[in-house]
Amino acid sequence: MIQPEMSWARKPMGQSAEAPAPAGGQFSSTTQGPGATITSDPGAPIYNETQGKAAGFSDRMSEANAVFDEAAVSDAGQNLAQSGLSAIPVLGNFLTSKERQRFEQAERNFINSQLRRESGAVISPEEFRNARAQYIPQPGDSEEVLAQKKANRQSNIQSMQRESGPFYKPKQAAPTGDNPYSGMSNEEFEAELKKRNLK
């Protein structure tokens, strides 16, 4: 049998086929280092897997911390009666105020983000209780202890942000709860007061 001449279809030795150009509007990407993806989009962050997870945890911890700073939520979190009602199985959530419910949601958000970074997927009840005592305002906490816990939370947020890598940018805080000014910077707050002729 006569074999057809196919040398024209073979790739030259030592050369690789050229990758097709990306379609319009898409960004090409390359990989540099273990798991780090770089795109040609100048605004895209450069994250490896660890940094990407840390960035998500940073955002969640910051959001939770902003909730703790709301006076009504903080008061509900340190209210002994609300704490007791919350401890009632099944019915506790129905018996507590919306501020207490928001406090507990922020508590879970902060602690789970912190402990998943330290312990991985499985968090034991004992770990959660210890973290609550370490970071979260509790009934009977003195002003000094509350300030210390707040500093601990902020320190952990900053540590998580550093772990997110040099391209991480904190999310713009959204207003939380019933306070339209929460999440604003000092300059934005001052401008808002002037606009409303409150200053």
Domain count, the chain: 1
Sign of the four-CA dihedral 5, 15, 40, 171? positive
197 burial type by CB count under 10 A (0-12 exposed, 13-18 middle, 19+ buried): exposed
Would residue 194 count as lying in a domain?
no
> What is the per-residue pLDDT for 37?
42
DSSP string, 37-98: EEES-TTS----HHHHHHHHHHHHHHHHHHHHTSHHHHHHHT-HHHHHHHTSTTTHHHHS-H
Would residue 148 count as lying in a domain?
yes
**Calpha distance 102→16 (Å, rounded):** 58
> What is the per-residue pLDDT for 10?
56
Confidence of residue 28 (pLDDT cuts 50, 70, 90): very low
Residue 54 burial (CB count, 10 A): 22
pLDDT(21) > 80: no
3-state SS, residue 57: helix
Would residue 16 count as lying in a domain?
no
> What is the per-residue pLDDT for 122?
77
Q: Read off the pLDDT of each residue in 15-30 and give the average, rounded to a whole number.
A: 41
Would residue 40 count as lying in a domain?
no
Would residue 89 count as lying in a domain?
yes
Would residue 39 count as lying in a domain?
no
| pLDDT mean across residues, the chain | 76
> What is the per-residue pLDDT for 103?
96
DSSP string, 43-55: TS----HHHHHHH
pLDDT by residue (tens digit) across 159-177?
999 998 888 888 765 544 4
Among 139, 57, 142, 141, CA closest to 100: 139
> What is the per-residue pLDDT for 44?
58
Confidence of residue 143 (pLDDT cuts 50, 70, 90): very high
Would residue 66 count as lying in a domain?
yes
> What is the per-residue pLDDT for 63?
94
Lowest mean pLDDT among 3-7, 137-141, 180-184: 180-184
Indicate the pairing of strand 29-31 with strand 37-39: antiparallel
Would residue 150 count as lying in a domain?
yes
Q: Read off the pLDDT of each residue in 51-78 and give the average, rounded to a whole number.
A: 92
**Calpha distance 15→189 (Å, rounded):** 61
Q: 111-121: b or e for each residue (b if 16 or more CB lie within 10 Å)?
A: bbbbbbbeeee
Q: Which two tokens stand for residue 106?
A: 């922020």
> What is the per-residue pLDDT for 1?
57
> What is the per-residue pLDDT for 189?
57
**Calpha distance 77→84 (Å, rounded):** 11
- Domain ranges, residue 119: 49-165
